[in-house]
Structure 1
Amino acid sequence: MEWEAKIITHKKEKRIAVYFEKDLDLIARIKQIDGTRWSQTLRAWHLPDTEENRIRFKLTPLSHTIPSTEGIEQIEKFKQWLRSKRYSESTITTYSEALKSFLIFYREKPIADITNEDLIVYNNEYILKNNLSASYQNQIVNSVKLFFMTIRDTKMMVDKIHRPKRAKVLPNVLSKEEIKLILNAHSNIKHKMMLSLIYSCGLRCGELLALQPVHIDSKRNLVLLKNAKGKKDRIAPLSPKILEMLREYYTVCKPTTYLFEGQIKGQPYDARSLQLILKQALQKTGITKPATLHWLRHSFATHLLESGTDLRYIQELLGHNSSKTTEIYTHVSTKSIQQIKSPFDDL
């Protein structure tokens, strides 16, 4: 039986993905390994990135993937610098893991001797050879630039570090009909409420899970989003229909600290469980698109644009720093495009 295993980053966690043609015996064997899960998005089984699992699937042992002693010390100093600048823990993890990848590649070279040319070699010999994405390469560039800004004695010229050309990827959007099917798929009021609030306010997953009952301003029909991405507070409008649903939900579920809590009172709902709720809704409705929770946010923005809402207001609602980020939705809005008559019709 042929299979392929490789190290991946899945939901910000290092995993080993195993790809193979469907084989019931192999599936039964791989499911016996602790922590193994199936990913519909990856179309692969994936399991924890441990020394044992690396050896089992003939991958480079973890002991060969550690930076030099100097590198380990510098990564820790970098983390401390990021914390002093009040970067979020998720950003600190992303940046330090990206820097770690770069310093592992040059573990035999003193950090003071690393040059701009070395970064180009790393991009060609590691990023491109392993078919890693431009967005991952951009993470490396961000991390390396920040890191070398904090070091005095270095040959790296930060101002001359080049970024990869970013792919212009259009956001994924669901139709209003598909959104309606998804939001009505669950009879569980909490599940229905969470998906509905994400779409109706254009929320990120983390923003929804951080909501507390006090953040709902029923007098002014507003939702207050505290410490959203980039540590920026913002407000979102609360539709009368959503407010009515929230009152019913509050009566039934009686949340305490967080608006949406898991099995333990006072603790926020689990992000992975929330993703599973959407996955179940897709299965119930028969929608085969690989939709994620962020698709609901994309759909909110696109549907607002199609209904005539000014782009500046959408930018404010989504919490975008730059209008250029919001302008991407003009490329997926079908309102004007659908009105264009193809010359084929006149043949």
Structure 2
Amino acid sequence: MFVHVKKYSEGFLSVKFPYSVENVEKIRKVDGRKWIESDKIWVIPDNEDRIKLLYRLFGKDNVFFENYEYDKDTMIALKNELKIRNYSVKTQKAYLGHVRRLLQFHKKCIDNIDKDDIKLYLLRLVDANKSAAYIDQAVSAFKFLYIDLKNIDDVDFDIKRPKREQKLPSVLNTNEVFKIIESVDNLKHRAIIMLIYSAGLRVSEAANLRIEDIDSKRNLIHIKGAKGKKDRYTLLSNAMLELLRQYFKIYRPECWLFEGQNGEKHITVRSIQKVFEKAAFKAGVKKKVSVHTLRHSFATHLLENGTDLRYIQELLGHASPSTTEIYTHVSERDFAKIQSPLDRIMNKVKL
């Protein structure tokens, strides 16, 4: 479903979309909208706030303006190709968004956009202080468009990817983890927080767990279709298993391990994030943390306890050992053995 927008008159835009009760309810949320019976279109005020509202109501990937409406077939083809190649829904949305914004910026059809146009667009992203990861993803989207969709193998596309910042992950110490867990009174919420930390899960992995994924006999958790469409096993601690048994007796989930409010769907990622944010605040944690910090802390604490880096890589589901090696930079295990030169000087003075 696509929403087509173009200039109607001075200060107004026309909005056209396939009829449905849901779509009509959405457009009625735009202040100043009018239905033009003679043209069979909706008209809205032409300003930034109304356009942003259209994006929120219908989705950015579905809204097309007159300047690049003729590329709608390419956008549909791009979406279908991403689906066929089994890209995640999240990646599909990101790639479509990057291509759509490229078209918006240049107001050209895709066939008329060259390498210099793309470089100019990427430069604008840099000026807008977009992260290296965001720009890197944009480059991947454009490469997929030209090479994978359009089959232009000899395209002159030697754009260098931006250098990523080498940021170290924020890590909680064991006392902070304990305080966060203790601050959660709700049994279900406590189980979610403990499971993410005890198994090193991504928040989406915890949300998507099914009852059948818990292997209590082998003390393992089966993570299916994780990042990169990969399956893996990770730890199920004894303490976690005991808590899950209590949780099962009270909540009695039927399909998803952690059900949403209606019981038919799993709990949302945002709900889990809110649970963690509230718990961290209540526990008095001053560091800048998110629920993903629990996964970083899991890996760091394993390393500090002497677990081989290769096993940690498997438990986290990292494709490359270099990704896991970042935890060697935040682990206190080896740093504790190093004496500061200041301590040596002060010890000599005391003697």
Fold agreement, TM-score > 0.5: yes
Q: Is 1:106 the equivalent of 2:95? A: no
**Which whole-Å CA distance do the structure 1 matches of 2:153 and 2:110 have between them?**
7
Deviation for aligned residue 1:170: 0.9
Q: Does structure 1 retain, via aligned residues, the 8 Å contact 2:220–2:234?
A: yes
Q: TM-score, length-normalised on structure 1?
A: 0.79
Q: Report % sequence identity.
A: 40
Among candidates 168, 171, 174, match of residue 172 of structure 2? 174
Q: TM-score, length-normalised on structure 2?
A: 0.78
Aligned to 1:45: none
Among candidates 36, 45, 48, match of residue 54 of structure 1? 48
Query: Which stretch has the larger CA shift, 70-79 or 172-181?
Result: 70-79
Aligned to 2:192: 194
- Give the partner amino acid of 2:114: T
Q: What are the within-5 Å matches in structure 2 for residues 82-97 of structure 1?
A: 82-97=82-97
State the secondary structure of the residue aligned to 2:228. Answer: helix
- Listed one character per residue, the Cα deviations across residues 278-318 of structure 1 (whole Å, up to 9, x for unaligned) are 11111211112231111000110111111111111111000
**Which whole-Å CA distance do the structure 1 matches of 2:72 and 2:168 have between them?**
38
Stretches of 4+ aligned residues off by more than 3 angstroms: 50-56, 58-67, 152-156
Aligned to 1:25: none
Question: CA 1:153 to 1:250, structure 2 compared with 1: closer, same or farther past 3 Å?
Answer: closer
Aligned to 1:146: 144
Q: Does structure 2 retain, via aligned residues, the 8 Å contact 1:225–1:235?
A: yes
Among candidates 224, 227, 235, match of residue 226 of structure 1? 224
Q: What are the within-5 Å matches in structure 2 for residues 211-250 of structure 1?
A: 211-250=209-248
- Give the partner amino acid of 2:76: E
Deviation for aligned residue 1:243: 0.7
**Which whole-Å CA distance do the structure 2 matches of 1:154 and 1:175 have between them?**
50
Q: What are the within-5 Å matches in structure 2 for residues 74-89 of structure 1?
A: 74-89=74-89
Deviation for aligned residue 1:266: 2.7
- Listed one character per residue, the Cα deviations across residues 201-251 of structure 1 (whole Å, up to 9, x for unaligned) are 000111111111111111111111111111111111211111111111101
- Listed one character per residue, the Cα deviations across residues 2-57 of structure 1 (whole Å, up to 9, x for unaligned) are xxxxxxxxxxxxxxxxxxxxxxxxxxxxxxxx9xxxxxxxxxxxxxxx9898338x
**Which whole-Å CA distance do the structure 2 matches of 1:234 and 1:155 have between them?**
38
Structure with larger Rg: 2
- Give the partner amino acid of 2:49: I
Question: CA 1:118 to 1:244, structure 2 compared with 1: closer, same or farther past 3 Å?
Answer: same
- Listed one character per residue, the Cα deviations across residues 114-145 of structure 1 (whole Å, up to 9, x for unaligned) are 22222221122x11221211111111101001
Question: CA 1:247 to 1:59, structure 2 compared with 1: closer, same or farther past 3 Å?
Answer: closer
State the secondary structure of the residue aligned to 1:95. Answer: helix
Q: What are the within-5 Å matches in structure 2 for residues 299-338 of structure 1?
A: 299-338=297-336
Aligned to 1:162: 160
Q: Does structure 1 retain, via aligned residues, the 8 Å contact 2:170–2:288?
A: no
**Which whole-Å CA distance do the structure 1 matches of 2:45 and 2:258 have between them?**
37
- Give the partner amino acid of 2:48: R
Deviation for aligned residue 1:277: 0.8
**Which whole-Å CA distance do the structure 2 matches of 1:180 and 1:89 have between them?**
35
Q: Does structure 2 retain, via aligned residues, the 8 Å contact 1:256–1:266?
A: no
**Which whole-Å CA distance do the structure 2 matches of 1:52 and 1:293 have between them?**
40
Question: CA 1:212 to 1:146, structure 2 compared with 1: closer, same or farther past 3 Å?
Answer: same
Query: Which stretch has the larger CA shift, 175-184 or 144-153?
Result: 144-153
